[in-house]
Amino acid sequence: MGSDRYGQDVLSGDWRRPPRGRSIELAADPGLVVEEATTGFVGEIMRVERDLGVVELEDRRLRRKTFPLGPGFLMEGKPVVLVAPARNAPAAPTRTASGSRVAADTRAKVALPSRIYVEGRHDAELVEKVWGDDLRAEGVAVEYLGGIDDLAAIVADFAPTAERRLGVLVDHLVPGSKESRIAEQFSAHPHVLVVGHPYVDVWQAVKPERIGVREWPTIPRGTDWKRGICAAFGWPHADQADIARAWKHILSRVRTYTDLEPAFLGRVEELIDFATVG
């Protein structure tokens, strides 16, 4: 019998596992989204265990699974062989995550007496991820309040002066809100600056496209906002540990200032400028 001039029937055998010869090697870099052909599991590459020869994927519901490196994966529908990324040292960055040019001397300065306060831990972690290098270069410390109901007492205890300024970033600072009434108390204080963004929670400062959606869901009044968001996305939300994992997932999608909404970016930059004047 001669060779089959029309080639192999594409429906014969396991069509989801293409012949090895057609696959190309692909470095399993974190952030890539691939499909494990046998199970159909689609997820983002989170990490590679070189010693074990495995790759860990996380799907859109935050479920993680580990698979052996090698053939049997699809990238945009094309067969690939996942290999461990090269160990080459990355080139030194020329800009920070905030877009600022990296200074020649990157050693952290002694902290200035001025401070920036944010409402909660998630706010502080987001500011650190994008502006951390800039803040260390300027010597500005960021602390979180856990809410602004006691802001008047906090300001009185801090005792701001021209050399010891206090900047405060507030969530959901919109006309008529409780936050706006508290912020108004300090509008005339020369050494205190209270600014805010319009989002219910700092999670919304991350562009929704970064987590694979067109917009953040609207959560009914009276429903805990973070749990409501997790429920809308189909993520676990039974306890605080689930909420923490959801935030870790969202934060992992933020790499530079371009992943954040302008209404949040501008306020943080304003506070940094205010705290470093002098």
Q: Can you give the residue ranges of every domain in the chain?
A: 20-83, 115-206+254-276
The runs of H, that is alpha helices, within the chain are: 121-138, 151-158, 178-184, 225-233, 240-252, 262-276
The DSSP bridge pattern shows strands 115-118 and 166-170 to be parallel
Q: Is residue 229 over pLDDT 70?
A: yes
Contacts of 278 (CB under 8 A, 6+ apart): 162, 163
Q: Is residue 223 over pLDDT 90?
A: yes
Closest CA to 94 of 106, 86, 108: 106
pLDDT digits over 177-191, tens only? 899 999 999 999 999
User: pLDDT category, 134, cuts 50, 70, 90?
Assistant: confident
- Angle at the Cα of 252 from the Cα atoms of 145 and 73, rounded to 5 degrees: 165
Average pLDDT of the residues of the chain? 85
Q: Is residue 70 over pLDDT 60?
A: yes
Q: Is residue 140 over pLDDT 70?
A: yes
Q: Does domain 115-206+254-276 have CATH number 3.40.50?
A: yes
Maximum pairwise Cα distance, the chain: 93
Residue 99's pLDDT is 61
Q: Scanning the structure block, which residue is given the tokens 């676990």? A: 236
Token representation of residue 104: 């020649």
Region 108-132 average pLDDT: 86
- CATH number for 20-83 (one of 2.30.30, 1.10.45, 1.10.4100, 1.25.40): it is 2.30.30
Q: Is residue 197 over pLDDT 50?
A: yes
Residue 254's Cβ-count burial label (10 Å; 0-12, 13-18, 19+) is buried
Q: Is residue 114 over pLDDT 60?
A: yes
